[in-house]
Structure 1
Amino acid sequence: MSIIVVGGGLAGLSAAHTLLERGANVLLLDKQGFMGGNSTKATSGINGAGTQTQQELNIPDNAKIFFEDTKKSARDLARDDLIQVLTGRSGDAVNWLQAKFGLDLSKVARLGGHSQPRTHRGGAQFPGMVITYAQMERLEDLAVSQPERVKIVKKARVTKLLKDENGHVSGVEYVLNGKTETAYGPVVLATGGYAADFTSDSLLKKHRPEYYDLPTTNGDHCTGDGHKMAMQAGAKGIDMEKVQVHPTGLIDPNEPDAKVKFLAAEALRGVGGLLLDNTGKRFVDELQHRDYVTGKMWENGKFPIRLVLNGAASKDIEWHCKHYVGRGLMKRFESGDALAKEFGLSPAVLKKTFDDYNQSVRTKKDPFGKKFFSGEWSYNDTFHVAQMTPVLHYTMGGLEIDAESHVIDTNGKPIQGLFACGEVAGGVHGANRLGGSSLLGCVVFGRVAGDSAAAYLLQVASAAVTKAGGRLGAIAGQVSGASSSSSSAAPAAGSNSVGKSSGVFTLDEVAKHKSEKDVWVVVNGEVLDVTEFLPDHPGGKKAIMLYAGRDATEEFNMLHDPKVIPRYAPNAVIGKVKQ
């Protein structure tokens, strides 16, 4: 018997692993050609209260303190029972990731709105990518070693929830290779949000039309598919107008009006980064809630607004800075004079800004209300700087769920056989989500949904056995996750396929292939034709196009394990670079 998980981001993966732990079988359907979703883009970390890491660092945090911080950020709009689950199971979620997947989450930072340092990350790479890839690779390994228990189908766009004669969700319809397929079983929705829903029936335009023209950090797959399907099946939407605009989207100087932007991790402000307007002055407590900081940026209106990190902050989050500099989104300056020149201001202006800030550090009396500081600033220092703009980032609204992740219908009752987790589930974060709680929500409610779906399947199977007088084979056929067509079979993960050819190319030849319709890159001496892979890349097309026709080795190795290419894009390798 299988349970259908729709969505291959961190929420869906956490649900799948939990289902397997509970003895259930899993059919995972993912809309994209490469799993991971927006989870891979999370840059600051995952929250956890009372974790083993916090205990080792003598951080006096607990679930009660985290609950109060979340409740305050939510503006009393989130439900206490859901916050209780999120915060109460947060420590266990982080410990589970470390124990089950061997992850390094040894660094802990304090982000905006948190009264304690509780946002966990490792020493390198984006934590969202590290956490999601670890789960993704484990699940794909299981799909190879235990195909009778795990089946993954990519590029499968689920279009409809199926119901039985009792009104219970009993399966899905999905489109694969242009053909409609059917799979049967209880369903866990983990389809993400709608912060890139610029479609004809846009939820974003319907609920927050004033935000519709803003840039977004979301991949183009985030179009509210799960919300729309479930509501058509009778589910209730909640807080749909609660859309979070993140204050720090990175402006690419070469493409300032790009619709999709990279996010400047909140951790950059958490380690001490300052926001300065075009007059070189502060205007906000950098560690306030996201919606507050965004509001102050718009109220101040003195753009361009820059995020500035001094030497100490840059070193603390060195990998992020190197990554942003490599993508041309951030600049490094070797002195205060060079920084002042970038602003187009006299050195005296920035010196006064730093002196005023240092006074706040010493007295703990900041004119903007800042309470937590990371040391004084010196004008004679090195700096990392990037231009910022508010961006669509996260949708707090979604399907109403209960504390066990059952989806609730418009009459206030659970829809049997339907569960939701991650960003598709509403009511968890209220009016404003705390930084670091997106990954947490995925893991916590993914695990809750997995537990509940496994219990439901056991209940259904037991009832079916009793009713059918032991004819378990017929019932198992109905609730199995097997597709009605063999064409849905996913390629085995970790395939040993070889590339299209084994040519030898000069870098000049590679440089000729730099358009979206014909893009080559070089990675570790191999030439890759990534044209077909471009739309499936979880970081978006732009992340690849920055290196089109070039050697992308340094950037690739910063982000990826070498086995990523043979595992996910073996056919992209077309040869080697001529030495």
Structure 2
Amino acid sequence: MRRRGRDPRRPAGGWRGEPARRRPARPRRCGPRARRRGGPVSVGRPTVVVVGAGGAGLCVALEAASQGATVHLVEKQSTMGGMLRIANGEFSGAGSRRQAERGIEDSPERHWDEVRRISHDRVDPGLARMSVLRQGETVDWLESLGFQFHPDCPGLIHGHEVYDVPRTYWGVEQGHSVLQVLLPLVEEQVQAGRVVLHLSTRLRGLVREADAVVGVAVEDPEGSRELRGDAVVLATGGYDANIGLRNRFMPEHCADVLVGCLDHATGDGLVAAEEVGAAVSADGIFLPVMGMIPDPDRPQHAVDYRQAFVEMAPAYRTPHEIWVNRHGERFVAEDTRSPEQRERALIRQPGNLMHIVFDASVVREAPVSLIRNPADEWTPERFAESCRSSPWITRADSLEELARALDVPADALARNVADYNAAVRGEVVDALGRTTFPTALEEGPWYAITTVAASILSRDGLRAGTDLRVQDQQGEPIPGLYAVGEVLGNNVFAGDNYVGGMSITPAMTLGRLLGRALGAGAAEEQQ
């Protein structure tokens, strides 16, 4: 296992916006039970309580422990990893060694300009810039740990708006590739007595003395108790699996979107912080993840996209089908290269729902399956079998029968198919501006996949300054309380759009920065 000393690129006085550092005390090891169950800790060492063991929390814990702190790492699931267990795990960074080796000219400042462009300049300029300028270092750090990059990295990702320069990376096993390098390091710190791991332990609230947060109230299978420290870091992720809480931040017309994340994303840290007066954003921004399939066994939830999702990006699959809304009307050019255009068009449709309509010729002739997942190969043959048997696909012998099954007006659906076919034959110009017409739709049987906009990433979150201290309603820091990762809300790093790698990379980058500062004894002095 590699061991790391001081980052040679770190300025002597610390990064801009980073809390002041104190020299760490010498670590002392604890017994195995103390490490796992919160036993005695070393006198004179700062103690940091980190709630949430996803990408952000793991990085905070690793850096704080490596600087000499004792870290209580609290995770309500039985395993660490959070959303990285299902995420694609794409991260971004400019000026990395991997870019240089491939002759790609890039810089953190150029990356920052692109983040501003794609986000429509609506990111938090302090936090987002602080992260972007150091994300190339995060990429190099992961490489130094033995991260298994996909051979196509760095590359351009077309699921959301595309960078001008290849600066996005991913692993051969998606998000699991990140965990494969982080989890052994955490276990090493557990064995050394610097990290006390609390799995299957839920956050029930924050502990306050006077105006400062001094710990957390938690509950595990053995009961309730408190964990106290010099600093509490909320790295609890998002809230999208808590439909009531999610819809509080959602535009009213988007309340029916699917839940696309794991069930643990219930906003526990956000709720706990609000209870002690923390400010929470309410930007009213929502941009959907497209292509999620409704789970027939779980209303308002999507089929796990590790199992299946619909490929929407024409960069990966030429569209042979049309998309219609509940009224049987097409609403966007299916071959648009702008993911944002597709996403914004979908959330204007009734119920944020669309039907992907195709015929037997598409099943027979399309060279790439309409359904895919991150791991298994969805061959055209497998897709053809799903068209015959899958509960996700509606099938009918005639277009009129398909309309009845979808509960859309049959005349509208027939007219939209006819207009599309006229454009295929070159008789008219497509009214929506589509220019790709692989085949006419005129051969039964007919099929449709219904897909609904999904929420998978929380847009709003806790307010925090560039020191990552959580702020109260008056914009003042709450002593002892910090936040990092998705609990801050993705709007901070992506504005009103999706920006490549600007979720997991800020979580890891700022998590490392915060952990390094707190581990050196930089927790806020209690008033």
Within the candidate set 292, 296, 313, 2:345 is matched to 296
TM-score by length of structure 2 reads: 0.68
User: For the residues of structure 2 that align with 1:163 and 1:438, how far apart are their CA atoms?
Assistant: 30
Q: 2:513 pairs with 448, 465, 471, which one? A: 448
Alignment of 1:488-527 (within 5 A): none
Distance 1:273 1:286, change over 3 A: farther
SS of the counterpart of 1:219?
coil
Q: Structure 1 residue aligned with 2:189, among 116, 123, 142?
A: 142
Q: CA RMSD in A?
A: 4.3
TM-score calculated relative to the size of structure 1: 0.63
* Residue 302 (structure 2) aligns with: 260
Q: Does the 8 A contact of 1:4 with 1:171 survive in 2?
A: yes
Corresponding residue for residue 234 of structure 1: 277
In the TM superposition, residue 203 of structure 1 has moved relative to its aligned partner by 4.8
Report if the CA contact (8 A) 2:311-2:372 is conserved: no
Amino acid at match of 1:241: G
| Count of aligned residue pairs for this structure pair | 428
1:434 aligned residue (489, 499, 504)? 499
Q: Which residue of structure 1 aligns with residue 376 of structure 2?
A: 322
Aligned residue runs from structure 1 range 210-359, under 5 A: 210-239=253-282, 241-251=284-294, 259-263=301-305, 269=313, 271-274=315-318, 276-278=321-323, 283-284=333-334, 286-290=336-340, 292-298=341-347, 303-305=354-356, 320=374, 322=376, 331=383
In the alignment, is the contact (CA less than 8 A) between 1:106 and 1:121 conserved in 2? no
Contiguous gaps of at least 5 residues in structure 2 = 1-44, 387-394, 400-413, 441-447
Mapped pair 1:8 → 2:59: no
The yes-or-no answer on 1:195 pairing with 2:243 is no
Q: Is the 8 A contact 2:288 2:347 kept in 1?
A: no
Equivalents in 1 of 2:67, 2:519: separation in Å?
7
Q: Structure 1 vs Structure 2: percent identity of aligned residues?
A: 23
Which residue in 1 is equivalent to 2:157? 110
Pairing partner for 2:473 from 410, 415, 421: 410
Match of 1:486 in 2: none
| Equivalent residue, structure 1, for 2:200 | 155
Counterpart-to-counterpart distance in 1, 2:357 and 2:464: 39
- What is the deviation of 1:224? 1.2
User: Structure 1 residues 343 and 195 mapped into 2: Cα distance closer, same or farther (>3 Å)?
Assistant: farther
Q: Is the 8 A contact 2:73 2:196 kept in 1?
A: yes
* Contact 1:195–1:243, Cα closer than 8 Å, also in 2: no
Counterpart-to-counterpart distance in 2, 1:217 and 1:194: 11
- For the structure 1 residues 149 and 312, does the alpha-carbon distance in structure 2 shift closer, same or farther, using more than 3 Å as the test? farther
User: CA offset at residue 45 of structure 1?
Assistant: 1.6
Q: Output the CA distance in 2 between the equivalents of 1:407 and 1:391.
A: 28
Equivalences for 1:53-92 in 2 at 5 Å? 53-92=98-137
The Cα offsets for residues 194-223 of structure 1, whole Å up to 9 and x where unpaired, read as: 111135xx2533654443332111122212
**Letter paired with 2:121:** D
1:266 and 1:91 mapped to 2: Cα distance?
32
Q: CA deviation at 1:23?
A: 2.5
| Partner Cα separation in structure 2 for residue 342 and residue 68 of structure 1 | 50
Tell me which residue corresponds to 2:179.
Answer: 132
**Alpha-carbon deviation of 1:313?**
7.2
- Of 115, 119, 122, 2:171 maps to 122
Counterpart position of 1:537? none
Contact preservation (8 Å) 1:44, 1:267: no
1:495 matched residue in structure 2: none
- Counterpart code for 1:177: P
Give distance in 2, aligned partners of 1:56 and 1:348: 52
Residue 300 to residue 30, structure 1, CA distance change in 2 (3 Å): closer
**1 or 2 for the larger relative contact order (CA 8 Å, sep ≥6)?**
2
Per the alignment, in what secondary structure is the counterpart of residue 15 of structure 1?
helix
How far does the alpha carbon of each residue in 1:323-344 deviate from its partner, in whole angstroms, 9 at most, with x for none?
Answer: 6679x9x72699xxxxxx9998
Q: What is the distance in 2 between the residues matched to 1:318 and 1:203?
A: 27
What does residue 95 of structure 2 align with? 50
| Code of the aligned partner of 2:144 | A
Alpha-carbon separation, structure 1, partners of 2:86 and 2:314: 18
